Amino acid sequence: MRIILLITLLASALAISAQQPADEFKPSGKVTTQVFGDYYYVLKADTGINTLSQKVALTNTNAAALNKPKDMNGFRFRRANIGYEYTAAPNFVAYVKVEADELSLASDGKTSFYLKDAYFKWGISENSYLYVGLQPTFAFDLNEQMIGLRYIEKPALDLRGLVSSRDLGFGLRGKFGDESNLNYSLLITNNSSTKPVANKDKRLYGNLDYKLTNGIDIMVYADYLAKTTTGTTNKNEFLTGFFLGIKKEKFSAGVEGFYKLYHNDFKNSSGKLEDESGIIASAFINGKFNNSYGYLARYDYYNPSNKTSGDKRNFVILGLTYFPLPNVTLSPNVQVETYEKTNVYSPLPSIWARITFNWVFK
């Protein structure tokens, strides 16, 4: 992290030295913050779902997105962050952000902050930017920008742990010409999320995003994880997919689908390693009746493995929204997750009722 800080300071000095005269540009900074959470009540839950996950060998994913016991209830923060954005030059912006959530706990069990963002964005040409540091990955950036429901729930890829929202590395993002509607992103990282690097694995991300003039946006995406292995066995992973969205003044909707390939990840009955694959698809809608009230809906389908049965998931969210202020949202909503039957067990669905709160200040 000291190296990243040093690079940031050096780049800032270089950018400032090359900037326009002081009376034409003045460096500036701003504080950003977002907080969201819920009061939730677990109306229904299956007591054996986590045990079931071991029976069907769900090694690549969590057994369930909704995994608290029946009648559990309470208030919780799912995100509370504060960040600082500093524009040192017209072509140079640095970001730092710390965040706390219900999973970031100190040794005494109390909620703890961790480093979420620490990177700079440097305009190295008229249409290209270099990103260095702990930064957002972009598998679901477009989803969050167009649909705007991150405060309700993580995007499907993030929810199931297929792609982290943050990683440490180098990125290059931009567009193909001044008048082009085609954008690109490339990124190479440790594949360690916000944690220190633990091995030599590296992950390469890439996407193309085409913006149509009538509010329609389409993205194609792929990433490749080069995993450290012993011997000659290839254990690398590959993910590819697309997002298609439309955004209007009081309405947005989208669909996305992704395919994940795990090389030599499944051991068959004879002990031979075989490739394993999974798919995930999601559809969203988010709109407003007027300036104060709106609605939202989402459906996910997830099959983590083509080699096992009993592991398919359906995930549904339905809700209403109320906007007492432009940057404040209250949402009564219901989450439902259902689980595929096996030949030995029929899991009950998980049903949560929630009142979600969200506020953002930039």
Which pLDDT value is given to residue 328?
A: 96
Query: If we measure between CA atoms, which residue out of 140, 151, 136, 141 comes closest to residue 286?
Result: 151
Q: Which domain holds residue 98?
A: 2-20+27-361
Mean pLDDT over each residue of the chain, to the nearest integer: 88
Most confident of 13-22, 89-98, 133-142, 210-219: 89-98
pTM of the complete model = 0.87
Higher pLDDT, 57 or 268: 268
Q: How confident is the model at residue 47 (pLDDT cuts 50, 70, 90)?
A: confident
CATH number at residue 50: 2.40.160.10
Which pLDDT value is given to residue 10?
A: 42
In tens, the pLDDT along 187-205 reads 999 999 888 888 889 999 9
Which pLDDT value is given to residue 52?
A: 58
Which pLDDT value is given to residue 243?
A: 96
As a whole-number percent, the residues of the chain with pLDDT over 70 amount to: 89
The total of structural domains in the chain comes to 1
Which stretches does DSSP call E strand in the chain? 28-44, 73-89, 92-105, 111-125, 128-136, 166-175, 182-189, 202-211, 216-226, 237-247, 251-267, 273-288, 293-303, 313-325, 328-339, 350-361
- Average of per-residue pLDDT across 174-185: 91
In tens, the pLDDT along 314-362 reads 999 999 999 999 899 999 999 999 998 877 778 889 999 999 999 998 8
